[in-house]
Amino acid sequence: MYIVVTGAAGFIGSNIVRALNERGQTGIIAVDNLTRGDKFRNLVDCDIVDYLDKRDFLSSLQAGDFDGVVEAVLHQGACSDTMASDGRYVMDNNYRYSLALLEFCIDEAVPLIYASSAAVYGAGSVFREERGCEAPLNVYGYSKLLFDQAVRRRIGEADAQIAGFRYFNVYGPREWHKGRMASVAWHFFQQFRDQGRVRPFRGSGGYGDGEQRRDFVSVEDVVKVNLHFLDHRDLSGIFNVGTGRAQSFNDVACAVVNASREAQGRQVLSLAEMQAEGLIEYAPFPDALRGKYQHYTQSDIGILRRAGYEEPFLAVEDGVRRYCRALLGAEEQGGNDSAV
């Protein structure tokens, strides 16, 4: 029996594959789209039994080649570009593809654990897994919401687990390939390394410079949630996955700067000291993001907690520090970033 991980060469998918390996599980079928070939680096330190292109996997699935041999599907693959303008591609990739996996898992009574997104909430101020809170600002968020709605309609038919996770702002190792869609922590780290400063956005949406607030969650915690549900297959539903605490972009900036300074044996600074020394410099808010930007997110994790997930979540100060140390360690080893 195999565990299927889609998006396996991507950010969250590759972290899940590695975590499964650490538990001794290597019977993993990795599914992805390697049109961007260098993503293979995220799987170099992982053990899998096979790799399939996402199109070939779907064809084989629909042909019955995987009937009776799949233990569980962890569906992390998606077009995650919130600024994507090709709605036809996003809907086909995120919605239609996911529907085909849902159909297979229901027919075969196979657990389906899948990635949704906090983008379904749009610019709202309440982040609960309820229809009245859901108003996406872009086609990416809409594609995720539409699949969540399909799950809500069909979950009663399933004889096996169906669990969807609305990830908030995830950061951590193995996101190097994501470009503009990489986390704020990753971008700030690159800015400080290259320019000696970080550049949060100036004030917007009623927030001061760098004070826009998001629920920043470490990929370490995201992986733990996925594995908890894999181990507790009686748990189904749609769940927010975040820390439950909004923190500012300034908090992330301070964590990055101080982690980098600590690695150099230099003293930790306050936000005001960083601003005074020019280590934080605020960038104009981009016109392209106006009307499409979540200035505030904070997950309500009540349903997740009531489902029995009791592990604490890393705050920015701890999670970003650990991430920066990993990035700095990779640079010291000659720039091998396959795991960061």
Determine phi and psi for 241, rounding to 5 degrees.
-125, 100
pTM of the model: 0.95
The catalytically annotated residue of 140, 167, 171, 323 is 140
Contact 185, 30 (CB under 8 A): no
The catalytically annotated residue of 2, 54, 89, 178 is 178
Report the b/e string of 89-113 with b at 16+ CB within 10 A: ebbebbbebbeebbebbbebebbbb
Q: HSE on the CB side for 140, CA within 13 Å?
A: 19
Tell me how far apart the terminal alpha carbons of the chain are, to the nearest angstrom.
30
Return the closest-CA partner of residue 197 out of 205, 189, 185, 186: 189
Q: Give Cα 106 distance to the centre of its chain.
A: 25
Is 114 catalytic? The answer is no
The pLDDT value recorded for residue 55 is: 95
The pLDDT value recorded for residue 332 is: 62
Amino acid at 306: R
Return the closest-CA partner of residue 7 out of 31, 27, 25, 24: 31
| DSSP label of 54 | H
Tens of pLDDT along the chain (340 residues) come to 999 999 999 999 999 999 999 999 999 999 999 988 899 999 999 999 999 999 999 999 999 999 999 999 999 998 766 667 778 888 888 999 999 999 999 999 999 999 999 999 999 999 999 999 999 999 999 999 999 999 999 999 999 999 999 999 999 999 999 998 999 999 999 999 999 999 999 999 999 999 999 999 999 999 999 999 999 999 999 999 999 999 999 999 999 999 999 999 999 999 999 999 999 999 999 988 888 789 999 999 999 999 999 999 999 999 999 999 999 987 766 554 556 7
Which helix (DSSP H) or strand (DSSP E) does residue 324 occupy? helix 316-332
Is 178 catalytic? The answer is yes
Task: Report helix angle 219-231 to 11-22, nearest 10.
Answer: 60
